[in-house]
């Protein structure tokens, strides 16, 4: 059986973080308008799995109202910050059931997905690694998460598969300083530097990733659109996606043998009109 899932990962820019200090001299749309833009993009992509970061604590009821009929939706942890990760897994013929676990310190949600093929085991990890203390906190978060992933893979010895998405707050040259290499994960976007975050100072960097284990291969990636050179990157991102991040989206296929090497991907840009 070759199953495919489309995964979307996006930092939603929590409204609790939108302050004159973080966005000086920048007019940010009302959160309702930003969310409308973001959800319109989600609808165009039509993902099977949605990994959101920086979702405000009071937003979950609205997301349940909008997506609850079609998706399993995780809960949110509230002890570490006023925002959290939120994972949505579509009710379809590939994923027949899902169990969520929240890891508060790590700002991570893990979804263990039961598939129609009982031998398949899909683990979707959705993380927001923190930028403070020059990456020391992020390294500790990632180390703890990696231990959870390794334990789960040991328990799923038939065909374990892992997809780890999120805002890792580091550039491609530093990604393996954060993520333990023992997991043998690969980046679906080949660590290309195409920016996924636009700062108020006109800087655009890649901070977001979609890592996958053997047993999963990207067969189609939606290459992140670049900010037009004649526009302010942050204003463009807000108008296009409703957030300061550019989403990552890819179609991932289960391989017959989890030890198989990922194949080359095809590329497609999702039009934003």
DSSP state of 181: G
Of 44-58, 140-154, 231-245, which gets the smallest average pLDDT? 140-154
CA distance 95 to 79: 30
Alpha helices in the chain (DSSP H): 31-45, 60-67, 136-155, 175-178, 233-241
What are residue 97's DSSP bridge partners? Answer: 114
pLDDT surpassing 70 at residue 157? no
CA distance 213 to 261: 9
pLDDT for the residue numbered 2: 58
Percent of the chain with pLDDT over 90: 62
What average pLDDT does the segment 148-154 reach?
Answer: 85
DSSP per-residue codes, 71-83: EEE-----SS-SE
Strand order across the 159-167 sheet: 95-103, 108-115, 120-128, 159-167, 208-212, 186-187
What average pLDDT does the segment 86-109 reach?
Answer: 88
pLDDT grade, residue 29 (50/70/90)? confident
Residue 11's alpha-carbon distances to 19, 95, 167, in angstroms, are 17, 24, 7
- CATH of residue 106: 3.60.10.10
DSSP per-residue codes, 46-98: --SEEEEEEEEGGGHHHHHHHHTTTEEE-----SS-SEEEEEEEE-SSSEEEE
Does 273 fall in a domain? Answer: no
Are 216 and 2 in contact, with CB atoms under 8 Å apart? no
Does 30 fall in a domain? Answer: yes
pLDDT for the residue numbered 267: 43
Does 65 fall in a domain? Answer: yes
- Per the structure, the complete domain to which residue 23 belongs is given by 4-267
Does 272 fall in a domain? Answer: no
Looking at the structure of the chain, the number of domains it has is: 1
How many alpha carbons lie under 13 Å from residue 168 in its C-beta half-sphere?
27
Question: Which phi-psi region, left, alpha or beta, contains residue 249 (left: φ > 0; alpha: ψ -120 to 50)?
Answer: beta
Q: Residues for the chain: how many in total?
A: 273
Of 187-191, 209-213, 229-233, 253-257, which gets the smallest average pLDDT? 253-257
pLDDT surpassing 70 at residue 245? yes
pLDDT surpassing 70 at residue 34? yes
pTM: 0.91
pLDDT surpassing 50 at residue 30? yes
């Amino acid at each position: 059986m070759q199953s495919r899932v489309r995964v979307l990962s996006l930092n939603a820019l929590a409204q609790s973080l939108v302050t004159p200090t973080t966005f000086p001299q920048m007019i940010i749309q009302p959160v309702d308008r930003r969310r409308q833009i973001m959800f319109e993009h989600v609808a165009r992509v039509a993902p099977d799995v949605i990994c959101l970061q920086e979702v405000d604590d009071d937003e979950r009821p609205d997301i349940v109202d909008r997506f609850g009929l079609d998706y399993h939706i995780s809960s949110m942890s509230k002890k570490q910050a006023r925002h959290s990760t939120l994972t949505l897994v579509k009710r379809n013929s590939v994923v027949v059931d899902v169990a969520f676990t929240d890891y508060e310190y790590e700002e991570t949600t893990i979804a263990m997905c039961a598939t129609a093929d009982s031998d398949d085991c899909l683990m979707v990890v959705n993380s927001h690694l923190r930028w403070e203390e020059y990456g020391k906190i992020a390294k500790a978060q990632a180390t703890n998460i990696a231990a959870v992933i390794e334990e789960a893979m040991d328990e799923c010895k038939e065909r374990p598969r892992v997809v780890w998405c999120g805002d890792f707050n580091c550039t491609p040259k530093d990604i393996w300083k954060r993520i333990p290499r023992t997991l043998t994960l690969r980046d679906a976007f080949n660590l290309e530097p195409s920016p996924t975050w636009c700062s108020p100072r006109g800087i655009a960097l890649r901070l977001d990733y979609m890592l996958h284990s053997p047993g999963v291969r990207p067969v189609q990636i939606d290459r992140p659109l670049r900010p037009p050179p004649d526009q302010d990157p942050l204003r463009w991102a807000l108008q296009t996606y409703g957030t300061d991040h550019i989403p990552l989206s890819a179609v991932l296929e289960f391989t017959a043998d989890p030890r198989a090497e990922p194949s080359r991907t095809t590329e497609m840009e999702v039009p934003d009109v």
